[in-house]
Amino acid sequence: MAPKSRRSVTKGGFNHGLRDDEIEELEHQPPKNLHNEVPQQQNKEQGKARGVRGPTMLKSMWVTVPGEKTIKIDMNAKGQPIGPNKKTFVEFLGTIARTPKFTPLEVEDWHKVSEVRKKEIIGIVKAKYDIPPGGEHWILRSLGKKRRSWKNRVKTQCFDPTLTTEDNAPKRPARVGEDQWKHLLPYWAEEKTKERAQKNKETRRNLNMHPTTGKRSFAEVEEDLRLELGHVPSRSELFVECFGDSEGNPPNEAVATTFAKIKVAQSTLPPGSQDPISPNDSFAQARGKDPPGRVRMVGLGVAPCNVWGGIPSRNASNRMVLQHQEDMNRMKVVLDQNTQLMASLQERLDSQQRMIDSTSRGNFFPGQSSNSVDLQKTLREKDVVFLKSAQENGKIVAKGKLRSLDPNKEVGGLRLGNLWCEVHIDRAIEWDEELLLPYSNLYTIVEAVGTSVAWLRNLVIISNLMFKSSS
């Protein structure tokens, strides 16, 4: 793969809320060692110092060129990123988590960071990436985790608990602001903080199983397994894939014990069962009940209610709300189109009525005989009637039943008035004869069989009177 060209971060674009001096600071960040000294490895044979790779900055990502398209991020059903752009996306979030302006370290807990600040961060991310509906929840969860890891790294490398605050002050890393450093030092020096840190160290020291997936998330592993197996993998299948070595074997005794327990639990499953995720699946039988508020092996940002059911999560609710809004917008477009069509039909109807009023004499329609007037004068609801063509005088086009003479009745969304009536078409005689007024997707007589249409009264003839007249 060819190396990507380095784009200037100060010309031809605009930055995401960072000043020029802050972008310049990104350009000159020290390497992974958080102190100002640059770590080097001495090549004894050549006598030259070899620089070590610096931290991930993604400087080009902090500038958006006008007209530049956003990068699409794919997410699974749980709202977790997957796909080819996931790696750079997560790295970009990491640069935000390490930027003091956006994720201040002096705030004790990520949940206490203001909503205004979090919305600002979401805006920065969306300026670069096309995020699916509801993806904001995972972004904030990921930022909280990355901020915590960054804060822990700063403390591990730059804070000495045996020294005083004054002695630790000069050890401030370049990527931590002075004001933040002044707040962090006395906080870390508190006895309560030290006790909590010691307890966390002991907890981590007792962990004897660690994922072997590297930078691949559980969501990515699940997606790969789904494509490979042809079904959503169970938690047991995920555990074997995520905690086994490259050959699928347990790397230590603790993992081997869990593998064995999983096999025993799977042996009790019904034949053909895919061991769907549940509070009592084979993984739960092997590892025990999930901790409160967590579901193991499903990855970051997924709450128990997302998996076991119940009240939808904020992530799922956001997707449902946005989907509802999209459906409402589509319905509004259709409604507007129908409203315009109805207005056009009403205008056509009014025009025909005016034409008939101006040309008729003594209730006669042009070309209409006195006999036909007598036939239509006695129209009553429920009469069996014939419909005459408006284009060819005297041609019968359909047979049906008179439904309504009420001038206020609406048929197809149009008011009948005094010149129209509602007729239910039972049989088509002239199949290709066009309706006087179109209805939805109905345009001809044969298409309207079995439905009610509006027809001009002077073109409706009672069937028995018609036969008497002809005799």
pLDDT tens-digit readout, 12-40:
343 444 444 443 444 344 444 555 443 44
Least confident of 97-101, 151-155, 291-295, 327-331: 327-331
User: Which tops the pLDDT comparison, 178 or 337?
Assistant: 178
Instruction: Check pLDDT > 80 for residue 370.
Output: no
What is the secondary structure of 187-254 as a DSSP string?
Answer: HHHSHHHHHHHHHHHHHHHT-------TT--HHHHHHHHHHHHSSPPPHHHHHHHHHS-TTS--SSHH
**CB proximity list for 282: less than 8 A, separation 6 or greater:** 234, 235, 236, 262, 265, 266, 269, 275
pLDDT the model gives residue 347: 72
Q: Which helix (H) or strand (E) holds 185?
A: helix 178-189
What integer best gives the mean pLDDT of the chain? Answer: 78
What share of the chain has pLDDT > 90, as a percent? Answer: 29
Domain map (residue ranges) of the chain: 14-31+53-205, 218-316, 371-470
Q: By the 8 A CB rule, do 129 and 206 touch?
A: no
Q: Which of 469, 337, 328, 468 is nearest to 413 (CA)?
A: 337
Task: Indicate the SS3 state at residue 376.
Answer: helix
Burial of 198 (0-12, 13-18, 19+ CB in 10 A): exposed
The mean pLDDT of 437-456, rounded to a whole number, is: 86
Residue 372 has pLDDT above 60, yes or no: no
Residue range 238-284, pLDDT digits in tens: 999 999 988 889 999 999 999 999 999 989 888 878 888 888 889 99
Q: What is the pTM of this model?
A: 0.56
pLDDT by residue (tens digit) across 79-133? 899 999 999 999 999 999 988 888 888 888 888 888 999 999 999 899 899 998 8
| Residue 11, CA distances (Å) to 7, 28, 112 in order | 9, 17, 36
Distances, alpha carbon 470 to alpha carbons 378, 393, 465, 466, in Å = 17, 16, 9, 6
Please tell me the distance from the alpha carbon of residue 225 to that of residue 139, in angstroms, as a whole number.
24
